[in-house]
Chain A
Amino acid sequence: MSSVADAHAADHHDHGPAKGIGRWLFTTNHKDIGTMYLVFSFAMFLAGGAMAMIIRAELFQPGLQMVEPAFFNQMTTMHGLVMIFGAVMPAFVGLANWMIPLMVGAPDMALPRMNNWSFWLLVTGSLILMSTLFMDGGAPNFGWTAYAPLSTTYGPDSTTFFIFSVHILGISSIMGAINVIATIINMRAPGMTLMKMPMFVWTWLITAFLLIAVLPVLAGAVTMLLMDIHFGTAFFDAAGGGDPVLYQHIFWFFGHPEVYILILPAFGIISQIIPTFSRKPLFGYTSMVYATAAIAILSFLVWSHHMFTVGLPLPGELFFMYATMIIAVPTGVKIFNWITTMFRGSISFETPMLFAIGFVVLFTVGGLSGVMLAIAPADFQYHDTYFVVAHFHYVLIPGAIYGIFASVYYWLPKWSGRMYSEALGKAHFWLSFIGLNIAFFPMHFLGLAGMPRRYADYPIQFANFNQVSTIGAFLFGASQLLLVFIVYRAVKNGPKADAKPWEGAEGLEWTVPSPAPYHTFEQPPRVD
């Protein structure tokens, strides 16, 4: 090693984190930033969860008990927005920050200062979004989709703040995605060829591409809302030659790829965890990569399956129906590969693996109800009912959220150097699993029977299933507090973890000590 390099390294890297609050405000370290993302997204998860509890409490009985219908509508809207933009997306970015450099053998993210800005813009955008709850006229109340004219002609004043918060959150995510791509393309250790990358890295590479491709489209959509509200334009007003349906097209051109943004990183996580605890390499790695890419490309061609009932021309209905069903093929490939990886493995059921198996089983339930919704004539019946709410919670909670939970248990030893309590972890899994199914399975029946979503009240015949659902929702909600306790206890005084706490685990992240030192891989490792 040359002396210039030595001097240079000594100049910049020979010490740990800065002291005090400045460490977090000014940091350029991917581990610090990853931690901030994870903590922040978990706080938002609890906030969004509290809103869900308000929704479910109100729906415990028919009639109006707790909240005004106007406030109920704000809760459904903010719950959706907070969960998607505040909880799930940032949690995945946090995981990317922590793990991608460790997994590809890079010293940090490619653009460390911009990385910090991505995080603090997330906080900025979330603050503006949350502040709408305290404004005259209340928070946005038109659903997270912000359809015109609900959001234009009939929206509250806070809609303008909502629009700009979406812009800021979008900028934050785009910068985060650019950083992920640049890191993966440019910072891999020598010998880490593309087809040797861990699946989590692959799925994030594809997710980042989706983010950069569709968030600007969302920005365009909400910009047009802003113009219609304040500058008298007629984009979504047929009286001036525009079309409210145009908004839906633009929104869902963003929205469908967005749902894959919410799930692909979880696919990657599950593809890391199942091989570890099955003590077998991932079955069909190459097909996994191609299936992920295929899903991403197809996701641009199916957006109107959210709009079957809006009055599409018949060829449109047919095209979007068949295109949507085709996505089930690469998704099926993945499920098949996960199950085949487990087949004849010597499986052990630590908490990450439980969540991974829960993922495979319950995500498949959500995937199947998705295929039902894809059938255009059937969707005329299901559209905007609780069947849809059941469907997307089955893909979001056992999908995205279980993926995140699984990764927290799986990598917590690496992050903190300490083990969580396996008994408590299992309790968390089973309580969540039971609560989730009690909460959301009855919603299928409610939806099939015709109960519409986004209403504070319902006819008496829906009461029984709703009561069951609310009980399950509170069980699920309460068991998340257990997660806070488990993580807190582990980090405070859990038993020390080895560099590689899982005997079946593979990958560069397990070659560094636990907890991972502040700076890792300053000299790239060799991969062969």
Chain B
Amino acid sequence: MSSNQSYYVPESSIWPIVGSIGMFLTFFGLSTLLVNQSNGDPTTTAWVVFTIGALVLIYMITGWLRDVIRESRAGLYDAQMDRSFRQGMSWFIFSEVAFFAALFGSLFYIRFFAVPWLGGEGAKGTANMLWEGFQAQWPLLSNPDNSQFAGPDSVIGPWGLPLLNTLILVTSSITLTLSHKALKYDKRKQTIYWLAATVALGAIFLFFQIEEYIEAYSHLNLTLDSGIYGSIFFLMTGFHGLHVLLGGIILFVVLMRLIKGHFSAHDHFGYEAGAWYWHFVDVVWIMLFVFVYVI
């Protein structure tokens, strides 16, 4: 029977156009905001446009998801549709991998080429003529031009909060796997408890990450504008943090749906997509821990 059923193509949908309007307002507002701020112009209107845009985007996401969930629960999706969703999610995660690969590539280029060359190493060491006497080191505490970019006093050591955070995220991947196992055996209570633990661990991770940022800004002078170490440190950990936030929100929505009785032992793509994403974010963190904090 299922081979005869045709692929479900929704009649039409208002959400894409709503989402596009939301994107326009959000990013036009945000651009205006940033430009006006840099120029010292008033930013109130830009804030308003940006906020409206963000609200429209939230409205769009909830509405779109509600439609999809409704259709899914009405049994409109067949196995082929399920495979399309899986393809979609896998390639989305692949694009995220590409994004982080670009950031890691930048980190390596700076560490192994740019900074050593500025310090006078090898054939390209002529770059040292720009700031004679500049010493290459990593983490870079003293910048080539310290009057433009005042270097940090020190950086975050790996064996305090970052190690703790590593343990927290790894644990959260384990609790998530336990929850998934439980779901497959239809043990709903355990599924919910383990998933709640996962979300909680994610929240604790974010809390410590914010602590770390506060510490960096208020005690270590490690800031976005303290030269290349601060730049790349905040860029990489910051984007990772945003992904933890997003993954946490996805898992939270999944948790709410579980509590409402959605998903079954055999049919839980939304759950799995969230889980894939979470494991991906976890792996990125381990790479970050090794390459940004430890080495």
Contacts and interface: CB of A to CB of B under 8 A. Distances in A.
B114 A161 contact: no
Contacts of B110: 241-243, 246
A153 to B, nearest CB: 11
A239 B145 contact: yes
Given A186-B80, A231-B225, A112 B88 contact: no
Interface in B121-142: 122-124, 127, 130-131, 140
Contact of A107 (B9, B30, B38): B9
Contacts of B14: 25-26
Contacts of B21: 124
Contacts of A220: 99, 102-103, 106
Contacts of B44: none
B235 A216 contact: no
B23 A240 contact: no
Interface string B6-29: 111111111111011101100110
A28 B9 contact: yes
A186 B84 contact: yes
A26 B13 contact: yes
A182 B91 contact: yes
Interface residues of A, number: 88
A204 interface: no
B13 A28 contact: yes
Given A117-B16, A123-B20, A178-B88, A243 B109 contact: yes
B102 A217 contact: yes
Contacts of A226: 34
Interface stretch (A2-10, A83-91, A336-344, A403-411): A2-10
A243 B87 CA distance: 38
A120 B149 contact: no
A23 B12 CA distance: 8
Given A117-B20, A212-B98, A164 B91 contact: no
A484 B114 CA distance: 51
Given A110-B84, A233-B231, A12 B11 contact: yes
Given A107-B6, A121-B23, A235-B232, A161 B31 contact: yes
B154 interface: no
A451 interface: no
Given A112-B10, A182-B84, A239-B143, A224 B38 contact: no
A341 to B, nearest CB: 33
B148 interface: yes
Contacts of B148: 237, 239-240
A238 B16 contact: no
Contacts of B102: 216-217, 219-221, 250, 253
Given A234-B149, A241-B144, A110 B105 contact: no
B99 A120 contact: no
Contacts of B64: 113
B98 A229 contact: no
A28 B80 CA distance: 18
B74 to A, nearest CB: 11
Interface string B225-267: 1011111101100000000000000000000000000000000
A449 interface: no
A22 interface: yes
Chain B, interface size category, equals: 35 or more
B114 A243 contact: yes
A128 interface: yes
A42 B35 CA distance: 32
A230 B38 contact: yes
Interface string B36-57: 0111000000000000000000
Given A161-B28, A168-B23, A212-B94, A242 B13 contact: no
A182 B20 contact: no
A261 interface: no
A418 interface: no
Given A113-B15, A227-B231, A240-B228, A1 B98 contact: no
A76 interface: no
A234 B143 contact: yes
B295 interface: no
A157 B35 contact: yes
B235 A113 contact: no
A253 B106 CA distance: 11
Q: Most B CB atoms within 10 A — which of A5, A12, A110, A240?
A: A240
A169 to B, nearest CB: 11
B4 interface: yes
B6 A5 contact: yes
Contact of A233 (B85, B96, B130, B235): B235
Contacts of A217: 98-99, 101-102
B115 interface: yes
B231 A235 contact: yes
B95 interface: yes
Interface in A385-406: none
B224 interface: yes
Pick from A121, A185, A241, A314 the residue with the most CB of B within 10 Å. A241
A240 B6 CA distance: 59
Given A217-B102, A241-B140, A2 B4 contact: yes
B73 interface: no
Given A26-B12, A120-B20, A233-B224, 17 more contacts: A1-B4, A111-B85, A123-B20, A127-B24, A160-B34, A164-B31, A178-B88, A178-B92, A179-B88, A187-B7, A233-B231, A234-B231, A237-B148, A239-B148, A240-B143, A246-B110, A314-B123
18 contacts: A13-B9, A28-B13, A106-B7, A111-B84, A111-B85, A113-B10, A114-B88, A117-B19, A164-B30, A212-B91, A216-B96, A217-B99, A230-B34, A233-B235, A234-B227, A240-B148, A250-B106, A313-B123
